[in-house]
Amino acid sequence: MSRRDTQFDTAQSVAGGERSAEEIVRECFERITTTDVDLHAMLSHDADRSIALARTVDAARASGQPLGPLAGVPLAIKDNMCTTFGATTCGSKMLERFESPYSAHVVERLEDAGAIIIGKTNLDEFAMGSSTEHGAFGATRNPWNTARVSGGSSGGSAAAVAAGLVPAALGSDTGGSVRQPAAFCGVVGLKPSYGRVSRYGLVAFGSSLDQIGPLTLDVRDAALMLGVIAGHDARDSTSVNQPVPDYVAELDQPLAGVRIGISDEYFGDGLDDDMRTTVMNAIELMRDEGAKIVSINLPHMKYSVACYYVIATAEASSNLARFDGVRYGYRTATPTGVVDMYESSRGEGFGEEVKRRIMLGTYALSSGYADAYYLKALAVRTLIKRDFDNAFEHVDVIASPTTPTAAFALGENAGDPLAMYLQDIYTISANLAGVCAISLPCGHSPTNLPLGLQLMGPAFGEERLLSVAHQYQRHTDHHRKAPPSASAA
């Protein structure tokens, strides 16, 4: 598997008999062995299991059996998605040895499509972070510059795809955790609409915000993977029962006549000048191809960071209450009683960032403060969603930067939680509103770090969103550029 082999190309080569699935998987593990020592994108992988599955695919093809759309394609998934093979750690000491009795819905869908899940990727602990520095098992480094972060919390998945360890991977996006690392690592990251992809088997962070999405080399691969993992699942009460379009078949819709919304709220103070210029150049390119640029107003977006970090931490406090050292997960070695067992297990098992968010969320939900913080945040969220609903009456997609800057240095924001939280300023509003959004490579900084363009569409508007993104990539080559660690075949 070379760096240029997309998920689509890999599946085609297996189906056509040009290459064997076993050969592709073995090459995948060779690259992990040589490259991931420096990156630490993978938390776990299983070569024997993967090769056995690849041989099953090759035998099926040889006997003329029909193959799934991802047959023989090696993929990685973020280690907060449950599998019946290997551990599901969430990057935390709390779940270091946890083995799930069931697989996540998306894992079932990928395997039904013939994909070979070779392992699990690194993340910020329990998906709480913007740099993949906050995991219990070490940071993931950026393939473009190993002194820089890969983004978070799906930084392991983004780095694995960018470095060519796998042609595609899954991440989860609660406030930008697919799109931000995609931008930092120069790959495509898609956050589907809330309810489009089942969350069954995804270890919850913020239940009203979480959504699983693909990280890929190009938009066609994102469309292909979304078509596999999307759809109703009765095991997830928030899964919406809507037909799944053929996203790949609809990619070739022209840009002519597409209305692209631009809001000043995404281009204000704090935006790096190189980022501003690069994103505006991308928007002008789409105008040149026939798109119509429309000014819109999202007046409540300025409250999105504060709103998000009340709602998300409140939901995290509730969701993580189950990790108490009783039924599963880490338990302190020498408890002096039941209360000490609870306190010590959680104190020792959780990292500092997770503790910070649990405490913030518990405070926001506590008696006397819930009205002032949590309920007020829910009201503001409604206003933010209303702004997006109003905007999408006049435009088809909204364009913005994905992040304020290119990837920052490892450790640069580690001691400043507020600076870290502000890395999500352009991405979290899509989660609050429940709309779909995608990050695309649109250029590079003067220091050769990738820069990301974000496109957002209305809820369940992935068809149009993906076609606009694909048309942009037809006229650019930013997504074809590889970091130094992946430049060799």
| CA geometry: angle 147, 152, 156, nearest 5 deg | 75
Instruction: Give yes or no: 263 in active site.
Output: no
Q: Choose the catalytic residue: 78, 93, 120, 191.
A: 78
Element (H, E) at 92: none
Q: Read out DSSP for 15-56? A: HTTSS-HHHHHHHHHHHHHHHHHHH--EEEE-HHHHHHHHHH
Please state whether beta strands 397-401 and 259-263 pair in parallel, antiparallel, or not at all (unpaired): parallel
What value does the CA radius of gyration of the chain take, rounded to a whole number of Å? 21
Instruction: Give yes or no: 177 in active site.
Output: yes
Please state whether beta strands 188-191 and 436-444 pair in parallel, antiparallel, or not at all (unpaired): antiparallel
Instruction: Give yes or no: 153 in active site.
Output: yes
Q: Choose the catalytic residue: 100, 177, 429, 485.
A: 177
Q: Choose the catalytic residue: 13, 92, 100, 153.
A: 153
Compute the distance between CA of residue 126 and CA of residue 419 in angstroms, rounded to an integer.
20
Strands (E), 160-289: 168-173, 188-191, 211-216, 259-263
Compute the distance between CA of residue 480 and CA of residue 386 in angstroms, rounded to an integer.
37
Work out the number of other CB atoms within 10 angstroms of the CB of residue 385: 17
In a 13 Å sphere around the CA of 286, the CA atoms on its Cβ side amount to 30
Residues designated as active site: 78, 153, 177
